[in-house]
Amino acid sequence: MLYDVFKAAVLGVVEGLTEFLPVSSTGHLLLLERFFGFDDDAFGKTFVVLIQLGAILAILSVYFVRLWRIATGMFTDVAARRFVIGVLVAFLPAAVIGALAHGFIKDVLFNPWVVCFTLIVGGAILLWVDQLDLKPRFHDATGFPLPMYLTIGFAQCLAMIPGVSRSGATIVSGMLLGSDKRAAAEFSFFLAIPTMAGAFAYDLAKNYKLMTADNTILVAVGFAVSFVAAWIVVRTFLDYVTRHGFALFAWWRVIVGTLGLIGLALGR
């Protein structure tokens, strides 16, 4: 039991730290399972999705005041209403494609080889975009045009391939469409709320009967650790990328993906 609690804590840390960074939380969790035996068999099929709720609450706690103003003002404030519609428009492609392709994604794409290749390719793309001499036209995540929100939503669907990174796809597409780094990263936070909440509700509805008392304890540990780690990331990430860009995360992806491929090739 103590070892399971330790694994739950480690998975919570990895989930919380990587969910909002452009490095792919799903990819990292799959590689932990493959190389270190940190699978979720002891936790139930919903463990990883359930601890994502901690990361969702971390965003809500950091942005509570701003989100509350948007929510209460969307019936009287045109800008607030337009932003809510924009988030829903961006969320829609992932909701539809995710529901239709859920089985294929889980059965075929959740593969460590796929993860390693996509980590490396995604890192290269992130480096390329970070070094482009882009001329940002949008500096506020709440003020993108509606077609831009929709395009970012379709780009987010690429993250259904583990290793791509939901936040990475959102940030890269936002920057290529005219957003500055900070606004693109911040919108990835906002879009994560309905996306992760939808995944949480879908998996919980399918598998809640598999939860046991022991599983509940492990989920609580993973949830708490995930909340703390994600809160730290959300509080510090925007300032970091504004000053330093995404090179650190791009090289991290390349290194992890390369080491993973070496391990797989050696039969580890």
Along the chain (268 residues), what's the average pLDDT of each consecutive run of 10 residues?
81 90 91 76 61 88 92 89 94 88 78 94 95 93 94 93 93 96 94 84 70 72 92 93 93 96 88
Query: How much helix, strand and coil, in percent to the nearest 5, is found in the chain?
Result: 80, 0, 20
How many domains does the chain divide into? 1
Q: Please report whether residue 106 resides in a domain.
A: yes
pTM of structure:
0.89
In a domain, 179, yes or no: yes
pLDDT of residue 218: 80
Classify residue 180: in a domain, yes or no: yes
Tokens of 235: 């509080």
pLDDT of residue 214: 61
Q: Does residue 41 belong to any structural domain of this protein? A: no
Please check whether residue 161 lies inside any domain of the structure.
yes
| The pLDDT of residue 213 | 62
d(CA 19, CA 28): 10
User: 23, 257 in Cβ contact below 8 A?
Assistant: no
Domain that holds residue 240: 2-36+46-265
Instruction: Name 259's bridge partners.
Output: none
Q: Half-sphere exposure of 65 toward its Cβ, with a 13 Å CA cutoff? A: 1
pLDDT attached to residue 164: 93
CA 175/CA 181 separation, integer angstroms: 6
Residue 170 CB contacts under 8 Å (≥ 6 apart), including other chains: 152, 155, 156, 159, 184, 187, 188, 191
Please report whether residue 162 resides in a domain. Answer: yes
**What pLDDT is recorded for position 185?**
94
